[in-house]
Amino acid sequence: MSGRVLDRAPIPRLPDWLNRLHAYFDAVRRRPFAWHGHDCGAFAAGAVAAQTGVDLFAPWRGRYRSRAGALRVLRAAGFERLSTAVPLPLIHPSRAAIGDLLALPTDTPFGDVLAVVAGAEALVVTEHGIDIADRMRACRAYRVGALPEAGT
């Protein structure tokens, strides 16, 4: 697997992270897939931003408008697969909790699609908006951050 090593430090979740995550899902529920701002990477990064206030998508935003452009930007950054470009701590997929990210294998040149854990299922962005995916297919998972401590 090629690609540079990412800083995979945990990003703490905000105290109201769950409400913010649900509000994010509601806001994008019917928004269709678009390479220029609402693809799987942007969707997953939006979920991270809702929970943490940190925008992981900033370095990628506005740098592509097509599948070929997205692949070119990914490869130019030194990543062969989308799942290797996620700068969050890796965890076993069975340990992924609500709000964590999953990489689901695909037969596309990206190798994976990013999804967000929503309980027993995973959410992905499709041409019709947000849909459910089988989280049991996950090949990787990423911890969004430590949950806030009680009373904070």
Q: Is-contact 122 132, C-beta < 8 A?
A: yes
Give the mean pLDDT of 117-127. 95
Lowest mean pLDDT among 56-60, 101-105, 146-150: 146-150
Q: How many CA atoms lie within 13 A of 102 on its CB side?
A: 30
* Longest Cα–Cα distance in the chain: 47
Q: Is residue 147 domain-resident?
A: no
Q: Is residue 151 domain-resident?
A: no
Q: How many domains does the chain have?
A: 1
Q: What CATH number does residue 67 fall under?
A: 3.90.1720.10
User: For residue 76, what are the domain limits?
Assistant: 17-142
Give the mean pLDDT of 101-106. 96
Give the mean pLDDT of 115-123. 95
User: Which residue has better confidence, 2 or 138?
Assistant: 138
Q: Is residue 1 domain-resident?
A: no
Q: Is residue 77 domain-resident?
A: yes
Q: Is residue 3 domain-resident?
A: no
Pairing of strands 101-105, 90-91: unpaired
Q: Is residue 97 domain-resident?
A: yes
Give the mean pLDDT of 100-123. 94
Length of the chain: 152
pLDDT at 151: 47
**Contacts with 45 (C-beta within 8 Å, 6 or more apart), sequence order:** 55, 56, 57, 60
Q: Is residue 8 domain-resident?
A: no
Q: Is residue 100 domain-resident?
A: yes
